[in-house]
Amino acid sequence: MSWTEVVIEIAREHAEALSDALMEAGALSVSVEDADEGTDQEKPMFGEPGMEPTEAAWDHSRVVALTDVDADQAAIVAEAAAAIKLAKVPAFTTRSVADEDWVRLTQSQFAPIHIGKNIWVVPSWHEAPDPDGLILELDPGLAFGTGSHPTTRLCMEWLEAHPAPGKTVLDYGCGSGILAMVAKKMGAGDVAGVDIDPQAIESAKDNAERNNCDIAYYLPDQLATARPEHATGRFDTVVANILSSPLKLMAPMLAGRVAPGGALILSGVLARQAEEVAEAYAPFIKLGVWAEQDGWVALHGRMGSDTVPPARSTGE
């Protein structure tokens, strides 16, 4: 089977409405792109959880609608234009989309990822390159955290460089649960994960079961009613890979979760944001940069220590 894409360039104020109307008119799927992509006029669009862009479109947008190959593309565009009361039917071009084994094609884009000294993140359709390594079977999914992003890698490498057999660990903002699983496979005792997204919690639970890791995952309000040691206690290691803005807001709460002498590791922080994040935590714990990768940093500190722990040495 093959399909035909309809490509329409249109102003920002009509992009979203046209997308919805194209779906109503018979398109199979619709996406919106920056029509200036690859030029000096390209405009990146970023959003943080809870602070998503108010409009998923650009000043000069490109709407791409997927249709059946034998569909009447002109009629679909005309119907959509009429539905949103455009003055005239917009010009469009079409392009063919050949049939593919989309599952195999998608899987081919994800190979095992080597992290730190001995960690491998391996999709289920691959064999582990090093069976003796610390193997995490993890497929790309809806929850953040497969080890491909520098912030995730930095936290994983910190956990590998600072094993704490039998100690308690809290992964706050757990996403896929990958950091909690690294801690557990490094020998941690009681491990818990927290995320605001129920879908992430379910994904993390599935991943932990697949990797034979006994980890408890909670929504934030569930943590307050969990087992006593999770509800009111502190953890020997607290790791949070989120973003700088929420990390600063959560400074009292996250620092309050760290046991005396315990470690706090923060990532999701750009190098230029490191000082302001450390300042937010200064009343509770002294933090310093442990390592930097591709413009991102991991901050760490020890509760009760008057000094900042050293940065990563070249041997780590």
Residue 308 DSSP code: P
Q: Which amino acid is at 288?
A: G
Cα-atom radius of gyration of the chain, to the nearest Å?
A: 24
Question: Is 195 annotated among the ligand-binding residues?
Answer: yes
Residue 126 DSSP code: S
Of 43, 47, 48, residue with least CA distance to 59:
43
The residues facing 194 across adjacent strands are: 172, 218
Q: Using CA atoms, how far apart are residues 258 and 254, in angstroms rounded to an integer?
A: 7
Question: Is 232 annotated among the ligand-binding residues?
Answer: no
Question: Is 241 annotated among the ligand-binding residues?
Answer: yes
3-state secondary structure of 160: helix
3-state helix, strand and coil shares in percent for the chain, rounded to the nearest 5 = 30, 25, 45
CA distances from 110 to 16, 145, 155 (A): 31, 14, 21
User: What's the token pair of residue 155?
Assistant: 């936290």
Q: Using CA atoms, how far apart are residues 218 and 224, in angstroms rounded to an integer?
A: 9
Q: Which amino acid is at 256?
A: G
In the annotated binding site, the residues are: 152, 173, 195, 241
In the annotated binding site for S-adenosyl-L-methionine, the residues are: 152, 173, 195, 241
